[in-house]
Amino acid sequence: MLPIVITLIASLFATPTLVANKATKAPIIDGKPTDACSKAATWLPIDQVWLGKPMAKGDFKGRYKLSWDSKYLYVLAEIEDDTLIDIHPDGLDKYWDDDCLEIFIDADASGGDHLASYNAWAYHTALDGKTTDFGPNSKPHYYNEHVITKRITKGNKTVWECAYAIYPDTYVDREKNTPLTLKKGHTLGFAIAYCDNDKSPERENFIGNVFVAGEDKNQGYKTADIFAKLVLK
């Protein structure tokens, strides 16, 4: 009986396969969830605590939707957070300790290490719209040209609308790089998370969309092995 129970538990927490439908019309990136592709997509939860303690009711709630076309992967995220903090005006300095949306993309779903390579991406988009990740030299770089983003906050609810160009692992800094043309059936590695700071020197929580086994769940910034598979339908 025990092996069956272990197998059942493992299957419950297996890395999920996600599906994104193609947008018949490209959404307007304006921070408003009113586009046809956004309305048609299903909300998915951001509810796995990767760092920090379990959160009190009302502190955080997150969900997201996905769609795509030949040029972009579209992400619509809705975050309910009682405090938004950006205490590092230098966007390359400890940006992960401010409130920010983080999108993980592995263009060919190959998995593996990406801390010092472009095998995969961990795009951190700050409250001011700057998008940052580590480059092959293990130093942070801006990748603002990789994403079109708009954020609207009303009360404790923030809507992030983003369009990500997908770059392969052949990307080279300071050279002309061409993003992939996305097609039906393409499989990406994908994860989404939110860095939550409530007036502390460091973020109190890091909340993602996929279950990560073990005590050290902060793995996405260095390995794409924990990403979900995302199939473009």
The tens digit of pLDDT for each residue in 154-176 reads: 999 999 999 999 999 999 999 99
Measured from the Cβ of residue 22, the count of other Cβ atoms closer than 10 Å reads: 14
User: To which residue do tokens 């940052």 refer?
Assistant: 132
Confirm whether pTM is higher than 0.75.
yes
Give the tens place of pLDDT for each residue, 15-56: 779 999 999 999 999 999 999 999 999 999 999 999 999 888
Look at the block and give the residue holding tokens 């969830």.
33
Query: Residue written as tokens 């408003």?
Result: 32
CB-CB contact of 98 with 105 (8 Å): no
Q: Is the pLDDT of residue 66 over 60?
A: yes
Give the strand pairing for 228-232 and 131-134.
Answer: unpaired
Q: What is the model's pLDDT at position 127? A: 95
95 neighbors 88 (Cβ within 8 angstroms): yes
What number of other Cβ atoms are within 10 A of residue 182's Cβ? 20
Task: Go through the domains of the chain in sequence order and give each one's CATH number.
Answer: 20-232 (2.60.40.1190)
Q: State the pLDDT at residue 16.
A: 78
